Amino acid sequence: MKVLCYDCFSGISGDMNLGAMLDLGIELSYLKGELEKLNLGGWELIAEKSQRHGISGTKVTVRQTAHEHAHRHLSDIQKIINGSSLPDEVKGLSMKIFRKIAEAEAKVHGIPVDEVHFHEVGAIDSIVDITGAAICFAALKPEAVFVSEIELGSGFVKCDHGNLPVPAPATAELVRDMPVRTGGVGFEATTPTGAAILSVLGTEFGSTQAVKISRTGYGVGHKDHPEIPNLLRVSLGETVSLSATGHKALLIESNIDDMNPEFYDHVSERLFKAGASDVYFSQIIMKKGRPGVILKVICET
């Protein structure tokens, strides 16, 4: 099975995800060409090689070339995406990610989903990040997405509502039921956009299933940390079926108190005739210091 593995040891953001996808092998010209189908002007996508702690990766910046004050609703986002010439699969996946964010924001603020104003997430860079994630996913065509424990970061993040503790309320809602940790870095490591991408794409979280890795890419974050490289590592590979040795068996135990030892041979013989693989007895001390025996029977399941 073809799988995409997200190693979020330093969190995830929309631009880190795009950087990892390009580093993994998605052509920049292809990604730009698909994004232009949004018919959304006022932006440019910049991808450059960069390093964190000596590890090379790709850093992506979505730069706005025209200033805007748009606070979009979900319906506005839907008009942009559904009005594009992108494939239906990409449109559907993009809207699924945006709806996840809208549902999280609606719950946090106690309002209907349709009344949610997208502030930072409604900006052009987030539209490009989220639609770009869907484009890359559709191009790679993984059958499953494994996600590691997710670093959320620490401290406070400045947003449209003021300074809020990390994780931001929407992020905290989006990572519910995912394995997370905090405090690894002193900034917002996982953004609402990054959390929503994982929430929609992820099929297994904290998976220990064996994977044969074929390619690995690194998305470089815009912040830096003195100890932990601000990178998102994403790998592409195939699951590996490990051939199990031995076979399944069942162990049945019973404590025996005050039985004539002469009966043990008879019990053992009857159990072997009934199909037991092994029968044995262990001496134990039971309550009030009385001697006893554990009868142990191994049999096939």
Q: How far apart are CA 281 and CA 48, in angstroms?
A: 69
- Cross-strand partners of 227: none
38-42, 159-163, 266-270: range with lowest mean pLDDT: 159-163
More confident residue, 183 or 248: 183
- Residue 70 clears pLDDT 70, i.e. is over it: no
Looking at residue 244, what is its pLDDT?
A: 57
Using alpha carbons only, what angle is made at residue 89 by residues 84 and 92, rounded to the nearest 5 degrees?
70
pLDDT tens figures, 245-291: 667 889 999 998 888 888 888 989 898 898 899 998 888 888 888 88
Please state, rounded to an integer, the average pLDDT across all residues of the chain: 91
Helix (H) or strand (E) holding 112: none
102 vs 89, 106, 109, 193, 283, CA distance in Å?
Answer: 20, 6, 10, 11, 64
Looking only at the bridges linking them, the beta strands covering 180-181 and 150-151 are: parallel
Q: What number of H helices and E strands is found in the chain?
A: 8, 14
pLDDT tens figures, 201-250: 999 999 888 999 999 999 999 998 899 999 999 999 999 976 556 678 89
pTM of the model: 0.79
- Residue 191 clears pLDDT 60, i.e. is over it: yes
Return the beta strands (E) in the chain as ranges. 2-7, 43-52, 55-64, 144-147, 150-151, 156-159, 162-165, 180-181, 204-205, 211-220, 231-239, 249-257, 278-285, 291-300
Looking at residue 215, what is its pLDDT?
A: 97
229 preceded by cis ω (within 30°)?
no
pLDDT tens figures, 88-126: 999 999 999 999 999 999 999 899 998 887 765 558 888
Looking at residue 124, what is its pLDDT?
A: 87
72 phi and psi angles, rounded to 5 deg: -85, 150
Q: Give me the percent of the chain exceeding a pLDDT of 90.
A: 69
Q: How far is CA 158 from the centre of its chain?
A: 25
Looking at residue 249, what is its pLDDT?
A: 87
Q: Give me the percent of the chain exceeding a pLDDT of 70.
A: 95
